[in-house]
Chains A and B, each alone.
Chain A
Amino acid sequence: MTDVNELLLGDVKEGSQLPVLEKDVTPVTVVLGAMASRDWRPQHHDYKFAVNNNGVQDIFMNTPNLAAWFERYLTDWTGPKGRLGRIRFRMKDSVFPGDRMHFSGEVTGVESMGNGVGWLEVSISLTAGDKSCVGCEAKIAVPETPEGNPWSLEGEDWKP
């Protein structure tokens, strides 16, 4: 295959840390992400609406955009064979322009499927300064051997 980063199941164990990702948020980060996810609600692009109607300090990142950031964080680490099985996140505080997003993660589970592919369970935290913004739990399939390919699993073989 084209030379790409590829995490194998055996490369990590419970407690392994994911590399940290940091990103400064600007209005463009918020608006571009909202438009990419076809979210036209004004609190994601209209400052006055967000302040006056939502009672918050500024426009803020929408949920699907945050989901896409979590996906990027995970697949930066696994490489393109990483296939998301499930993801759950809980919003605790909003992410605004001016915030510096800080993603960190830890492996909480490792399980072989016995077919050249295995599951990794990962707990991710998105913070901005002192704020804890989003907690996320994800389950992602990665190859157990260089030949394994989670994307080839279908039907009964894919049980996220």
Chain B
Amino acid sequence: MTAQSAEDLPEEVQSWIGQERYTEQTTFPIEMGYVYTTLSATENGNPLYWDEKVAEELTGGPITLPTMVSAWFRPHHWSPGRTEPAVPLQLHFDLKDRLDLPEAVMSDNSIIFGKPIRPGDVLTTTQILYSVSPLKKTKLGTGRFWEFGVKITNQHGELCAEERYTGYGYNRS
């Protein structure tokens, strides 16, 4: 469920609510290297990813870990022509900037999984802002909660996942 937004938001931020923004394609084809690094980071021995026979039998070949979905649309930290580091979830950083809330954490994350993501896929992502709360004080500081999401489709237009985040941008107390 989407929360009611605050009424004291800058007009520009208010105009973002409900609008699809930053529709982008992944900057590199999906590959298994990051999958193995994730399996290693989490000591995950699931044979679906380690055993080609199991992958062939269950999923018709290799797939990536469903929960890795956000990794695929995070930009390279640097690329030619870029002078500032790129940031993932640009909408989140736009909110920090426009609301003058320099620090932020994610407090809530949900993902609905659709078509498995496979090596070689090219994904398209779209970000959407659902709500921004009034100012609230927490143990971290004073700031606002915002709810936004990312829709991920593959090169065939099939829905692979829908992510939803709650971020909290704040000024330290």
Q: Is B53 an interface residue (CB 8 A)?
A: yes
**A72 and B110: CB pair below 8 A?**
no
Q: Is A113 an interface residue (CB 8 A)?
A: no
Minimum CB–CB distance from A135 to chain B (whole Å) comes to 10
Contacts of A4 in B (CB 8 A): 47, 54
Q: Is A160 an interface residue (CB 8 A)?
A: yes
B64-82 contacts to A, CB under 8 A, are 65-68, 70-71, 74, 77
**B54 and A160: CB pair below 8 A?**
no
**B67 and A70: CB pair below 8 A?**
yes
**B68 and A64: CB pair below 8 A?**
yes
| Contact pattern, A 79-101, Cβ under 8 Å of B = 1, otherwise 0 | 01101111111110000000000
Segment of A7-15, A37-45, A104-112, A122-130 in the binding face: A37-45
Contacts of A40 in B (CB 8 A): 74, 77, 85
Q: Is B135 an interface residue (CB 8 A)?
A: no
Minimum CB–CB distance from A77 to chain B (whole Å) comes to 11
Contacts of A71 in B (CB 8 A): 42, 44, 65-67
A5-52 contacts to B, CB under 8 A, are 23, 29, 32-33, 35-40
B49-101 contacts to A, CB under 8 A, are 51, 53-54, 57-59, 65-68, 70-71, 74, 77, 85, 88
A151: contacting residue among B51, B58, B67, CB under 8 A: B58
Q: Is B109 an interface residue (CB 8 A)?
A: yes
Contacts of B43 in A (CB 8 A): 23, 72
Given the known interface contacts A2-B47, A81-B58, A151-B116, the answer about A36 and B41 at a Cβ–Cβ threshold of 8 Å is: yes
Give the dominant DSSP class at B's interface: mixed
Report which residue of A36, A54, A72 has the largest number of chain B beta carbons within 10 angstroms of its beta carbon: A36
**B38 and A89: CB pair below 8 A?**
no
Contacts of B116 in A (CB 8 A): 151
Complex: how many Å from CA A91 to CA B105?
A: 9
**B111 and A80: CB pair below 8 A?**
no
Complex: how many Å from CA A25 to CA B26?
A: 31
Complex: how many Å from CA A40 to CA B110?
A: 21
**A84 and B57: CB pair below 8 A?**
no
Q: Is B108 an interface residue (CB 8 A)?
A: yes
**B70 and A69: CB pair below 8 A?**
no
A105-160 contacts to B, CB under 8 A, are 149, 151, 154, 158, 160
Complex: how many Å from CA A75 to CA B44?
A: 9
Complex: how many Å from CA A1 to CA B106?
A: 40
Complex: how many Å from CA A53 to CA B104?
A: 10
10 contacts between A and B (CB under 8 A): A39-B71, A55-B140, A63-B70, A63-B109, A63-B165, A64-B70, A65-B42, A69-B42, A86-B110, A86-B113
A-B residue pairs, 6 tightest by C-beta = A88-B110, A80-B48, A72-B44, A36-B37, A38-B74, A67-B67
